[in-house]
């Protein structure tokens, strides 16, 4: 069960539990023999201490000033030649204003959900034996392979192919699906991957979305996790980024059903938030309806970063809206079978130690989409049962090395 608790402020999720549901009764290669069960390695969710240790406790989290947190981040010792404190730029001032606006919700809502979870025996903070063990993530070469595949022509005659045995598959210009109800362990590109039942994926980047359009699906839910451009990503050669303006090239209008729910992960940078609100969603014909926050906590229920840190925050933003094929139609005038979309909600969970490994939103979004909705994740790094995943790293966290075989 992925939803541990919920109230009027939001939901407390167990992300690892949701992942594991996808891999019960797994089959190997031929998809004929079933029975094995795999689990995502629990060590990836062994977050028992905040990333930055401070003297705050659950009772006084958020009572420090930004200056106190700056001392924690930079150290208390005075250094010779320390630079004079500079004035904040406009982006930093905007960030402060935004933070002060949502701070009460984050502090009180998180405390409420954590307390309920702890009363149920979750977020107890007890580290199991071997919890300090570190695991090296599997190096992913999929993005580079997608880049090379762009030189190959797209065969539009076949848009969809199914997993079946050891046969070679065109993973870069066709949507590939596991049509079975059970998960499968299959060899792909010389490596072994676990594919959830009834999952689909396409390995490509923003320059090659034709196969996704050609498959003919109209989606009722689209979740996007763009690789936003920022200074730290630019300094690192490990992760690619995408200029915001290129997001407008995504074929959202061509693959969205009427009233499709569009959900976008956004960094805390005000310019990214403004871009989605004022440019991207209007360009796609999406009406912005709600803003949610993913709050990251440790296994003890503490914020992974000081709430008032002047740098990184312990939360990320989700912007939710509805696609309207007719620009003159709004959600208030459309008949819907799904529940009204609430504003200002929290999703509280222990984050994965893996970079850009977001929690699944399936459970919390279910009431706001129609039954048997067709769901798509864009810029995906993993697969989910009943979903289509698109991106140049869509299989990244499906590699067999991220799982352990259940011996219970």
End-to-end CA distance of the chain: 19
Question: Looking at residue 69, what is its pLDDT?
Answer: 42
Class of domain 1-69+90-408 as given by CATH: alpha beta
For the chain, helix, strand, coil in percent to 5 are 25, 25, 50
Question: Looking at residue 46, what is its pLDDT?
Answer: 92
Give yes or no for a contact between 141 and 171, defined as CB atoms under 8 angstroms apart.
Answer: no
Hunting for tokens 């001392």 — which residue is that? 71
Question: Looking at residue 239, what is its pLDDT?
Answer: 53
Please name every residue paired with 162 in a beta bridge, in sequence order, or none if there are none: 177
Question: Looking at residue 403, what is its pLDDT?
Answer: 92
At 356, give phi and psi (nearest 5°): 60, 30
- pTM comes to 0.86
Question: Looking at residue 74, what is its pLDDT?
Answer: 45
Query: What number of other Cβ atoms are within 10 A of residue 278's Cβ?
Result: 11
What single DSSP character describes residue 325?
S
Task: Pinpoint the alpha helices (H) of 52-141.
Answer: 66-74, 90-119
Nearest to 35 by CA among 43, 27, 45: 27
221: helix, coil or strand? Answer: strand
Query: What number of other Cβ atoms are within 10 A of residue 166's Cβ?
Result: 9
Residue extents of the structural domains in the chain: 1-69+90-408
Question: Which two tokens mark 203?
Answer: 């390995």
Nearest to 145 by CA among 117, 173, 165: 173
Q: Which residues of the chain have pLDDT under 70?
A: 1, 24-35, 53-85, 128-135, 155-157, 165-167, 231-240, 326-338, 407-408
Residue 126, exposed/middle/buried by CB under 10 A (0-12, 13-18, 19+)? exposed
CA distances from 334 to 205, 210, 220, 234, 367 (A): 34, 30, 15, 43, 17
The answer for residues whose C-beta is within 8 angstroms of residue 405's C-beta and 6 or more apart is 36, 37, 38
CA distances from 190 to 168, 169, 399 (A): 11, 12, 11
The answer for residues whose C-beta is within 8 angstroms of residue 25's C-beta and 6 or more apart is 34, 35, 36, 37, 182, 183
């Amino acid at each position: 069960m992925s939803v541990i608790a919920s109230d009027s402020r939001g939901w407390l999720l167990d992300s690892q539990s949701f992942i594991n549901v996808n891999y019960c009764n797994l089959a190997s290669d031929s998809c004929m023999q079933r029975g094995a069960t795999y689990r995502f390695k629990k060590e990836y969710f062994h977050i028992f201490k905040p990333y930055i240790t401070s003297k705050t406790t659950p009772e006084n989290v958020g009572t420090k000033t930004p200056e106190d947190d700056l001392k924690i981040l930079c150290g208390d010792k005075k250094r010779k030649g320390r630079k004079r404190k500079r004035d904040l730029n406009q982006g930093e001032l905007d960030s402060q204003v935004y933070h002060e606006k949502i701070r009460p919700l984050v502090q009180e809502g998180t405390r409420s959900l954590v307390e309920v979870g702890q009363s149920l025996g979750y977020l107890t903070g007890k580290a199991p034996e071997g919890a300090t063990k570190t695991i090296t993530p599997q190096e992913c070469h999929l993005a580079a392979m997608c880049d090379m595949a762009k030189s190959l022509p797209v065969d539009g005659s076949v848009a969809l192919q199914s997993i079946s045995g050891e046969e070679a598959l065109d993973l870069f210009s066709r949507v590939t699906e596991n049509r079975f109800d059970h998960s499968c362990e299959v060899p792909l590109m010389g490596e072994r991957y676990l594919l959830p039942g009834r999952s689909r994926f396409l390995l490509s980047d923003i320059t090659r979305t034709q196969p996704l359009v050609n498959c003919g699906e109209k989606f009722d839910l689209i979740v996007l996790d763009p690789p936003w451009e920022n200074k730290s990503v630019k300094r690192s050669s490990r992760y690619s980024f995408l200029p915001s303006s290129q997001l407008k090239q995504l074929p959202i209008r061509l693959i969205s059903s009427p009233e499709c729910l569009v959900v976008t992960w956004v960094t805390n940078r005000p310019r990214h938030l403004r871009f989605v609100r004022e440019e991207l969603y209007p360009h796609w014909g999406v009406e912005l309806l709600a803003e949610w926050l993913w709050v990251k906590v440790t296994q003890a229920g503490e914020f992974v970063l000081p709430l008032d840190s002047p740098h990184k925050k312990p939360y990320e933003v989700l912007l939710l809206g509805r696609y309207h094929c007719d620009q003159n139609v709004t959600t208030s005038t459309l008949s819907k079978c799904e529940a009204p979309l609430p504003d200002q909600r929290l999703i509280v969970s222990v984050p994965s130690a893996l970079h850009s490994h977001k929690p699944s939103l399936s459970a919390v979004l279910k009431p706001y989409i129609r039954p048997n909705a067709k769901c798509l994740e864009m810029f995906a790094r993993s697969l989910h049962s009943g979903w289509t995943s698109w991106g140049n790293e869509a299989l990244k966290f499906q590699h067999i090395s991220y799982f352990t075989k259940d011996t219970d």
